Structure 1
Amino acid sequence: MSGPFPSTEGNAVPSVDGTDLGDTLTDLDGIHPGIDLIRDGVRLLAHDRLDVNTTQVLIAALAGSADGTDVLAAIGQLVARLTNADTNPALRHLPLDVQKDAAHQGFLTSFHLGDSELRNSAATANAALDH
C-alpha cells in the first residue's frame, strides 16, 4: 500500500542495496524458488512507501503478533515440517536416530521462534508508533 506523499528525492524510500538486509537478500539468491519469492517479498516490503497504519500491521504480521500468528512463527513451523520425516519424504531413508534428532531440532526451532518473548521488541516498536 502506498502512503499519501508523492515520491521525491528528499522523501524517497532508500534502497536496501549495500545494507545488511540487502547483503542477506543477495546471499539467499538462487537457493530455491520459494526462497526467491520470500526475498522478493522482503525487498518489496522494504522499498514500499508505507503509511504508519500499514507499517504497524506489517510489523505485527512479520514478528509482532501477540498470539504468534506471524511470519516468524510460520518460518519456525516450516522448519519443523522440513525436519520431520513424516512430512518430508526426502528424510525417510536416513537412519532413525538421525530422523529423530532432526525432527527434535526442528521442533525446538518452531518452539523458540513461536516464543512470545521473541515478539516483545517488535510489539513494543509497534506500540511506539501509536501517537
Structure 2
Amino acid sequence: MTGPHHVHTEHNAVPNVDETDLGDTLADLADIHAGIDLIRDGIRLLAHDRHAVGTTQVLLAALAGSPDGTDVLAAIGQLVARLADPDTNPALRSLPHHQQKEAAHQGWLTAHNLNDPELRTSASRACAALDH
C-alpha cells in the first residue's frame, strides 16, 4: 500500500467513481434529459479532477456548504420549485387545479427544505477542516 495511512492510490491517482455509490447514482440518472446528463458530467468531472486544498474548500462551499445558501444545493431546490409550479412550468397547467396547487406547494417545500442551514453544517465543517 502507498501513502502514510495506507489509503492512497498508486501514484496518487484520483480514484474512479464507477464502482462506488456515486458512480451507481450517476449511472441511474443517465438519459433522463440532456440537462441531467450535463449535471452528471459536471459531477463526474469534479469527482475525477485533481484539486488543490483551496479549490476543494471552494467546491465544498459551492456544492452544499455556503452559509448564505448560495450553493448548488439551493439551486437544485429552487429548480425543483420552478419545475413544480404551473406559473413557471406551462406543462402543468393542463392538470386539475388541486394537483397544480399540491405540486407547487411540494416544490416550494423542497426549495425551503434544501435551504435549511442545518443541511450545510457538515459541508461547512468539512470546508473549515481544510483551513491551513
Q: TM-score w.r.t. structure 2 length?
A: 0.92
Aligned to 1:5: none
Offset from partner CA, 1:36-61 (integer Å, 9 cap, x none)? 00000000000000000000000000
Counterparts of 1:58 and 1:125, CA distance in 2 = 11
CA distance in 2, matches of 1:17, 1:89: 37
Note the aligned Cα RMSD (angstroms). Answer: 0.9
Return the offset for 1:30: 0.2
What SS is found at the alignment partner of 1:17? coil
Matched, 1:66 2:99: no
- In structure 1, the residue matched to 2:126 is 125
Matched residues in 1 for 2:18 and 2:82: separation? 32
In the alignment, which residue of structure 2 is the partner of 1:33?
A: 34
Give the Cα–Cα distance (whole angstroms) in 2 for the partners of residues 127 and 94 of structure 1. 46
Q: Percent identity?
A: 75
Q: How many residues align?
A: 124
- Quote the Cα distance in structure 1 between the aligned partners of 2:56 and 2:106: 33
Is residue 13 of structure 2 the alignment partner of residue 12 of structure 1? yes
Structure 2 unaligned spans of 5+: 1-8
- Give the structure 1 partner of residue 44 of structure 2: 43
Is 1:101 matched with 2:105?
no
Runs of 4+ in 1 over 3 A off after TM superposition: none
Question: Residues 88-130 of structure 1, C-alpha deviation per residue, up to 9 Å, x if partnerless?
Answer: 0000000000000000000000000011110000000100111
| Cα distance in 2 between the residues matched to 1:99 and 1:14 | 44
Shift of 1:9: 3.6
Give the residue type in structure 1 aligned to 2:22.
L
- The one-letter amino acid of 1:39's match is R
Partner of 1:57: 58
Structure 1: gaps of 5 or more residues: 1-7
Name the aligned partner's letter for residue 104 of structure 2: A
Q: Structure 1-normalised TM-score? A: 0.93
